[in-house]
Amino acid sequence: MSILPENSLGFRTVEEAVGDKSGEYLKKAFENVYRYHEIDKELAQGRTNFQLEKFALLETYTLESAYESVLKSRRQMAEGLMSKLLEMQEKVREFEYKWKDQSHSEPIQWEYSAMGGGGKKLCWYDLDQMQLEHFLRSSELEVRDRLYQIEHLDKMLAELTERNGGNPVSREQFLANEENYWKGRFSEQMLDEILGSQLGCSIGNIHSVRRSTAPALVDKRNQFNNGFPSLGEALTSTEGRMKFVSELEKNVIQGYEDVMGVNLGAGNFLPTEERAQLIQERMKAFRELSLSGSVEEVPQLEDSTEVVKE
């Protein structure tokens, strides 16, 4: 079954797509892009809180290095946000300037610049308007992604500051403990190679498992609830290795069951009604584990598409 509403966006010939009656088809194509836009906005965050706490943070080995890493990540996110907002504003102003006192039914010539040169091109109001709205809506996803990440990075920075006696990490403090950063980094590199040679796993996989199973800095919701197969047990004996492999396979099959809704014997299949109830219980526990008592909402943006409406 098609996911599209009936007759909303069927196949067309080239003539039908760009001919005299193409406007309606183009509008439907535009609407099709944003059919799930509200859901996209809800799930706009790129690097999740789990990734920020487990992978970005635990590459650092010392509190001082962790503080520096989070500080720089936060700055990069904030600068990227500002750049995107400036770009959005520039696009809106250019559109308004271009079409001020111009007929919306006739094309105009517009000078443009590009890598390797520039020139003039014909512009149509309705196409420019649609392109601007498309740009603004797509940009909103990037803005929300950065807001989500900045929010959690701020919490991480606050926790690291608290662990440092309530004070920011100074340059002198950072340099004074740099020895332990390199000691931790080189030790982990060697450890990963030793384990990899004995387990037959890649260094990257061992590296990822170790970080993912570490405690969370800020949010207990970013910890594994049911543990993970033990690397140590996999090294003890043939039986331990087989148990390790069996548990890995079970985790994979459980994922298949949850996504496909098919009982494969791994214990993670539930009928739709029971799964919906489990999700509600899981979300309730998720909220209760929040250190702030409630999940904060990302600041809402004004509807930026209003600026391009007639």
pLDDT of the residue at 254: 85
CA quadruple 224, 227, 232, 238: dihedral positive or negative?
negative
Residue 11 has pLDDT above 80, yes or no: no
Q: Lowest-pLDDT range, 77-86, 149-158, 269-278?
A: 269-278
User: Which of the four pLDDT bands, split at 50, 70 and 90, describes residue 216?
Assistant: confident
pLDDT of the residue at 310: 44
Q: Lowest-pLDDT range, 40-44, 289-293, 302-306?
A: 302-306
Pairing between β-strand 108-114 and β-strand 117-123 as defined by DSSP bridges: antiparallel
Residue spans of the domains in the chain: they are 44-112+119-178+204-220, 237-294
Which of 245 and 287 is assigned the larger pLDDT?
245
pLDDT of the residue at 12: 62
pLDDT of the residue at 294: 41
pLDDT of the residue at 228: 78
Q: What average pLDDT is seen over the chain?
A: 84
Residue 161 has pLDDT above 50, yes or no: yes
pLDDT of the residue at 144: 96
Residue 225 has pLDDT above 80, yes or no: no
Q: Lowest-pLDDT range, 90-94, 102-106, 172-176, 222-226?
A: 222-226
Burial of 238 (0-12, 13-18, 19+ CB in 10 A): exposed
Beta strands in 65-218 (DSSP E): 108-114, 117-123
pLDDT of the residue at 226: 73
pLDDT of the residue at 21: 67
Q: Are 270 and 282 in contact (CB under 8 A)?
A: no
pLDDT of the residue at 14: 64
Q: Mean of the pLDDT values across residues 125-130?
A: 94
One-letter amino acid of 173: Q
With helix as H, strand as E and coil as C, how does 249-301 read? HHHHHHHHHHHHCCCCCCCCCCCHHHHHHHHHHHHHHHHHCCCCCCCCCCCCC
pLDDT of the residue at 227: 72
Residue 290 has pLDDT above 90, yes or no: no
Residue 263 has pLDDT above 90, yes or no: no
pLDDT of the residue at 6: 46
Residue 103 has pLDDT above 90, yes or no: yes
pLDDT of the residue at 304: 40
Burial of 28 (0-12, 13-18, 19+ CB in 10 A): middle
Six-digit token string for 245: 């492999």
Residue 198 has pLDDT above 50, yes or no: yes
Query: How far, in Å, CA of 222 to CA of 214, rounded?
Result: 9
Name residue 109's beta-bridge partners. Answer: 122
User: Which of the four pLDDT bands, split at 50, 70 and 90, describes residue 275?
Assistant: confident
pLDDT of the residue at 3: 43
Six-digit token string for 149: 């990440």
Query: How far, in Å, CA of 307 to CA of 133, rounded?
Result: 9
Distance, C-alpha 297 to centroid of its chain:
16
pLDDT of the residue at 27: 85
Q: Mean of the pLDDT values across residues 274-286?
A: 83
Q: Mean of the pLDDT values across residues 150-155?
A: 96
Query: How far, in Å, CA of 199 to CA of 234, rounded?
Result: 7
Residue 7 has pLDDT above 70, yes or no: no
